[in-house]
Amino acid sequence: MTVRTATLADLAVLEDLWRAFAAEVPPPLHVDVDEAQELAEIREVVAAGLAWVAERHGQVAGLALARRRSPRLARLTDLYVRPEARGHGLAGALVREVVAHLAGEGVEALDLEVSASNGAARSVYGRWGFREDVLTLVAPLDELAARLGEAREAESFGSIHVQTDDVDAIVRALEIYVPRLPGGSRGSVVSPPRDGYVAVYDDVCDRDPAMLRRLAKEISTRTGLVTLALGVEEEAVVRMILFDRGAIVDEYASVPEHHGPLPPGEVVALQANPVVIERLTGADPGAVRAATPTAKSPAELPPARELLAGLAGALGITGVGHGFADAPELAGAVRLER
């Protein structure tokens, strides 16, 4: 095996290698490739002295092409080894030549682009020391327009359920904390006891799930009672947060990474713990487990409202299928104005 700088005499074989690579790893659907332009750029790279070929048994079996992006940065634009020549270290040898040449010219870093679906290449690059820096996200315009329209109409709502029959204690806690919530609210409603729980509905908390979490935590902290925040976010995600004396003891999200990627440990933490829930609420662990599925997208699960109803049934909690807008209709409810 030998690696050498490519010359203009190698153009035909370089073009053949480029076509083989394009056939094996087609470009993404959103990228239009102009073959004539690509081949012209190969000629430019060769003329600039930034093209290398690897030979095995006297035949050119791989290529590496690079470009200077700035005085300190270069890009590995192409790296390809014919399938029958793989497993003999040609790719690594090519990149070593690229690195040695660029380092001699004062370049400090090398980047590259790789398809997210090309797991084999990403694994190799990772072993060599390449790390994700900037991610390019792509969406078809028709799908993007449709989803943005859905998001604009998507509704969030939630309610808080405190394990008590003492409505006055909940009202007192709200009277202290609720005035500190952001303005523009139409107030809060506290339900009469139902199935061992007093429910709280708040206008601000319907619109902002983070506020629902804060209010539930505050109520649990001030009363020392077991408190659940239950709701639907953007008509897509069912979320449950279980507090005991102000501390989160369990949390569930039907689509853990709906709002963005999470570390694996956090994804696991968002899967309900039926044993903890049973200890604090008395709910049957099997029923809770069946009512708390998780998925990578809302499309893989039942509609969020249906899923929420199933979870409420497993917990034995009434009044979770709506938010503040419907709460004033509750007979015997206490209304707190802002």
The predicted-structure confidence for 98-141, as pLDDT tens digits, reads as follows: 999 999 999 999 999 988 878 888 889 999 999 988 888 888 88
pLDDT for the residue numbered 243: 97
Name the domain count of the chain. 2
| 211 Cβ contact partners less than 8 Å away, ≥ 6 residues apart | 181, 182, 202, 204, 205
Residue 29: predicted pLDDT = 65
Residue 116 lies in a domain: yes
Q: Is residue 172 part of a domain?
A: yes
CB neighbour burial string for 57-95, b if at least 16 within 10 angstroms, e if fewer: eeebbbbbbbeeeeeeebbbbbbbbbeebeeeebbebbb
Q: What is the pLDDT of residues 258-308, one digit of tens each?
A: 988 888 888 888 999 999 999 999 999 999 999 999 999 999 999 999 999
Give the pLDDT of residue 184: 53
Query: CA 127 to CA 315: how far, in whole Å?
Result: 47
| pLDDT for the residue 146 | 73
Q: Is residue 215, in this structure, part of any structural domain at all?
A: yes
Residue with tokens 């029959």: 165
| 223 and 297 within one domain | yes
Q: Output the domain CATH number for residue 82.
A: 3.40.630.30
Question: Within a domain: residue 89?
Answer: yes
148 part of a folded domain:
no
| Residue whose entry in the numeric block shows the structure tokens 């094996």 | 24
The letter for the amino acid at 7 is: T
CATH number of the domain at 267, please.
Answer: 3.30.70.1270
Quote the pLDDT of residue 149. 65
Residues 24 and 90 in one domain: yes
* DSSP for residue 118: -
- The reported pLDDT for the residue numbered 153 is 56
Tokens 């020391």 appear where?
Answer: 129
In a domain, 49, yes or no: yes
- pLDDT of amino acid 332: 85
In whole angstroms, what separates CA 244 from the centre of its chain?
29
Positive/negative CA dihedral, 55, 56, 57, 61: negative
State how far the Cα of 173 lies from the Cα of 187, in Å rounded to an integer. Answer: 14
Do 105 and 253 lie in a common domain? no
Which residues of the chain fall short of a pLDDT of 70? 28-30, 147-154, 178-185, 328, 338
Range of the domain at 239: 153-336
3-class DSSP assignment, residue 110: strand
Residue whose C-alpha is closest to residue 14's, from 47, 51, 44, 48: 51
146 found inside a domain:
no
Matching residue, tokens 């790296």: 79
Collapsed DSSP state (helix, strand, coil) of residue 90: helix
- Assess whether 111 and 159 both reside in one domain: no
What residue spans of 235-323 are helical by DSSP H? 264-269, 274-281, 285-291, 304-315
| Co-location of 193 and 327 in the same domain | yes
The answer to whether the beta carbons of residues 231 and 157 sit under 8 Å apart is yes
Question: How much is the pLDDT for 267?
Answer: 87
Domain membership of residue 46 (yes or no) is: yes
